[in-house]
Amino acid sequence: MDIAWQSLTQLKAALDAGRLSAQEITEHLLARIARLDPELHAFVSVDADGARALARAADQARAASLPRPPLHGLPVVLKDLLDIEGRVCTLGSRRNLQRVATVTAATVERLLAAGMVPLGKVHMTEFAFGGWGTNPLMGTPRNPWDRAVHRVPGGSSSGTGVAVAAGFAPVGIGSDTGGSVRIPCAFNGLTGLKVTHGRISLHGTGLLSWSLDTIGPMARTVADCALLLDALAGPDPRDPTTLAQPLERFARDPRSVRGLRLALPDASQLPALMDAGVTAAWQAAARRFESLGVQVMPARLPDWFFELAPAAGRIIASEAYALHGSYVKDPAVPLGDAVRGRIRQAEAFGPGDYPQALRDMAARRREFAAWFEAYDAILLPSVPIPAIPVAEVDEASPAPGILTRPANYLGLCALSQPAGLVRGLPVGVQIIGKPFDERTVLGLGQASESAGGSELPRPALD
């Protein structure tokens, strides 16, 4: 058994059967991180001592036949916007190298309560504001699918995407405000879930946009995303947006997909910058769903659908400015130029622009809900192109988030999963579902994965 490439579900089965110990898993992964991360730069910090202590305690509890939580002794990596009381949390910014958290994020609390072993904190785009995954001041993680050329990892959950794709951990935590789970999953050949806003508590999470931020699992399989969602979802009085959600369990009995209505938008509506290989992979995914008994229904999205990306950007910039505006204009504060510029876009907005943007978003959500009544889910590509070299990045390009931001703006959930390779690089498709209908997108993703739709070779690291 090659521990580095086992899924969370497989490692859980091996632990339960006594074929592996939590300490064996942890030591294997820590050794792999020590060997490969100097090249890939996924980690801000590795908590080797803490991980070893938790793994040892997990093995002792198992040996004593004590009651165990569902993910007992299993490893995870954490995006560096999740606070842990008494420890530095940078939010991807050199400005925050001395920022010591005063609370522990609800996400971390629930992972620990589920028995998981955090291996460390991983890099991200500064303040989670950027889809390429670049970070000029903290360093840009290296996409593991190309060791000859430094390619973008996708953002903002860049380190999580690289860590899971490189076999440093079976799963990790990302966040998604405009695509920051789905973009790195597409670029790195992973499966990731953008949950409905209000599904997972944001208490203790470094915010970019409180109206659109979501926490989400990133993994190699749909089943692993469902396991993490079971651990993380649920009401939290410290985050009132979570209190209205339906109480569900996602890892048991995946939803049957036969007869589900999957909207396949007209290819002519896709953005002009689509790579032909990505379009072909998306269309192949649609044919696979059809072979599984899903009703793949040609559809035409509202004409304004892809205009929602800049509309979402205006809300994100406005709320980011409210959070960071007190210092973003100071050139002495160490911030990346691109992120500084994105935040300062809000300075051009008039005094009524932000509340009007929120009213417009609410109206679009009502309008789209009426359109969506005819379908159960929508199939789109995740990102229009494969990962490009870092040297070719245009920070002003809409390419990374143009297909993902609409789901955030409209309050939807979405699962991105691999759809094959284009010129040797992974690409993805996203299954977009209605608010709080994660069960449907997980079911569709599981069906496609079981039919071989997400099979990829491993990155050439070993």
Residues labelled as active-site residues: 79, 156, 180
H or E segment and range at residue 442: helix 438-450
Strand 425-433 relative to strand 413-422, pairing = antiparallel
How far are the Cα atoms of 31, 223, 417, 422 from residue 453, in angstroms, in the given order? 32, 14, 9, 14
Q: Count H helices and E strands in the chain, helices first.
A: 13, 11
Cis ω for the linkage preceding 65 (within 30 of 0): no
Residues 208, 316 contacting (CB under 8 angstroms): yes
Which residues, at least 6 apart from 67, have a Cβ–Cβ distance to it below 8 Å? Answer: none
Q: What is the per-residue DSSP string for 66-86?
A: ----TTTT-EEEEETTB--TT
Which amino acid type is present at position 276?
A
Measured between alpha carbons, how far is 103 from 81 in angstroms, rounded to an integer?
Answer: 12
At 228, is the secondary structure helix, strand, or coil?
helix
Per the DSSP assignment, residues forming a β-bridge with 239 are 236
Q: H or E stretch including 117?
A: strand 117-122
Task: Give residues with Cβ within 8 angstroms of 16, minimum separation 6.
Answer: none
CA distance 190 to 276: 21
Return d(Cα 94, Cα 137) in angstroms, integer.
Answer: 7
Q: How many CB atoms lie within 10 A of CB 455?
A: 9
Angle between helices 8-17 and 22-40 (to 10 degrees): 150
Beta bridge partners of residue 78, listed in sequence order = 121, 173
Query: Which residues 6+ apart lie within 8 Å of 350 measured at CB?
Result: none
